[in-house]
Chain A
């Protein structure tokens, strides 16, 4: 079943950020989206979840996304944004519960099912221990896990991650990647990343450059064909270990 079908997607003010992009993503896939800064990676996933309006079409489970109401689309697609400073302060639990918005009506209280979804998201992401703490008191890694828990509580069949491991230490990178993989058990995952060593966990890698797709295949092919040089315009060192490649710029 096709989860997302993107046709002729174009976006940009003066210079095109995305240029006639066509992608078909099947249900259950774990797609890593890579590319240099400004390649249009974040823009692509923001287009999918309606944050940015673009030319072209995006179909979600066979239906144009414009045909969904805002709430109905949010029941299908969850989004984890890049980390940012938050001016207003909520407790972790309150913040995660806010993601149940598409399932509730005006003036109605949250129901048992909403609290269950929140509990489940907190236990999967390991955020339950600090559920009553304010978000601004958390470390970067803890905040990122809370952001993922918040998206998980939304119970979408498609999850979009925008650089989930940026600014994190190795311990938190490992923890976050385990959570992302766990999310893929119940949802199609699209993950924008600059951590090239994390894409081995993906089932498919799409590389963008200058708003166009320059690579779309399995992660193994990305390393074996030495595509990184072409995508990032720089040389890389490759280390092969236990049938996996590790890569870092020269």
Chain B
């Protein structure tokens, strides 16, 4: 197992390093010795790679935890409506023209976090209202929340200003194209807090993935753990959405691929998803920069193109 992790780590480092040289403008390692090119690489390419890695890791880890929590391979922030909630939070913030800081935090990630929490609240309490709510019902509830929030986003776009409309449109397609590190630093506290709690909850997630009855009887405070997972995932997904918009299916694809290699133990999977999720999104983003260069595609389009068929494949596999 250690060998596998070392290989994954090496692949992650190599892929990230290589990807950082490809884009609308390709770099060569030798060019980095020139100050002008190095500054360009450091201020435009590297932040994008770092953001892509953080976003991919956060989405993959949220997907991993939701799949264990709900014992459903199709669960992830996008299918549960959490990304839509976070996006709605962002759209509200932009439409209302709120900038600046609230309690020391930038307004946008806070609104995204609040939106994500609202959708989690919806999905969670819908499942608690009805007796014997299955995990399948939970996903349907998520789809309902998705539709509802998407409609609200459209409505805000419809009544919004033209300037905001273009901004929101570009955003809702999902992308990691940023300049500088400012936005990364803004979301870092949210991401770090979320990561800490998710890494802390891996043993509880293992027991929950076997069944709630088992988890309770083995001493897990299921109610508290659920809240921690919802809270930390909302923090991370909210932060990612605030900067990148909703990026679909990373949270579904990556944990599945990692389970094939590292097994189902969340204590191991959490490291694997962290590395692979980040690498996966960095690669997807590199594709968006290079496939039809000099034009760039939003990364959300690539992940959805990959994720849609994967979702259907899982659905068929599950029904079999």
A91 near B263: Cβ-Cβ < 8 Å: yes
CB contacts under 8 Å to B, within A38-68, are 46, 49-51
A151 to B213, CA, bound (A): 12
B73 within 8 A of A: yes
A49 to B218, CA, bound (A): 9
Contact (A51, B220) CB under 8 Å given A94-B265, A101-B203: no
A131 to B209, CA, bound (A): 19
CB neighbours (8 Å) of B212 from chain A are 51
Q: How many residues of B contact A (CB 8 A)?
A: 26
CB distance from B133 to the nearest CB of A (A): 14
A70 near B220: Cβ-Cβ < 8 Å: yes
A127 within 8 A of B: no
B221 near A101: Cβ-Cβ < 8 Å: no
Contact (A98, B210) CB under 8 Å given A51-B217, A75-B219, A106-B200: yes
Range for the number of chain A residues in contact with chain B? 35 or more
CB distance from A93 to the nearest CB of B (A): 11
CB neighbours (8 Å) of A154 from chain B are 218
A24 within 8 A of B: no
CB neighbours (8 Å) of B216 from chain A are 49-51, 70
A99 near B218: Cβ-Cβ < 8 Å: yes
Closest partner residue, chain B, to A94 (CB atom): B265
Known: A74-B218, A78-B217, A160-B217. 4 other contacts (CB 8 A): A70-B220, A71-B219, A86-B210, A101-B207
CB distance from A101 to the nearest CB of B (A): 5
CB contacts under 8 Å to A, within B208-255, are 209-214, 216-221
CB neighbours (8 Å) of A98 from chain B are 203, 206-207, 210, 218
B264 within 8 A of A: yes
A95 to B210, CA, bound (A): 9
B95 within 8 A of A: no
Closest partner residue, chain B, to A78 (CB atom): B217
A190 within 8 A of B: no
CB distance from A105 to the nearest CB of B (A): 10
A46 to B217, CA, bound (A): 9
A237 within 8 A of B: no
A164 to B200, CA, bound (A): 33
A13 within 8 A of B: yes
CB neighbours (8 Å) of B218 from chain A are 74, 98-99, 101-102, 154
B127 within 8 A of A: no
Closest partner residue, chain A, to B73 (CB atom): A87
B68 within 8 A of A: yes
Q: Which residue of B203, B211, B213, B220 is within 8 Å of A46 (Cβ)?
A: B213
B320 within 8 A of A: no
B217 near A88: Cβ-Cβ < 8 Å: no
A88 to B204, CA, bound (A): 14
Closest partner residue, chain B, to A73 (CB atom): B219
A102 near B219: Cβ-Cβ < 8 Å: yes
Closest partner residue, chain A, to B201 (CB atom): A106
Q: Enumerate the 9 nearest inter-chain pairs by beta-carbon distance, A residue then B residue, closest first.
A: A74-B219, A79-B217, A102-B219, A71-B219, A88-B209, A70-B221, A88-B264, A70-B219, A101-B218
B101 within 8 A of A: no
Closest partner residue, chain A, to B200 (CB atom): A106
CB neighbours (8 Å) of B217 from chain A are 49-51, 74, 77-79, 81, 151, 160
A13 to B131, CA, bound (A): 10
B219 near A81: Cβ-Cβ < 8 Å: no
B71 within 8 A of A: yes
A195 to B166, CA, bound (A): 69
B72 within 8 A of A: yes
Q: Which residue of A46, A49, A50, A90 is within 8 Å of B206 (Cβ)?
A: A90
CB neighbours (8 Å) of B68 from chain A are 88
A37 within 8 A of B: no
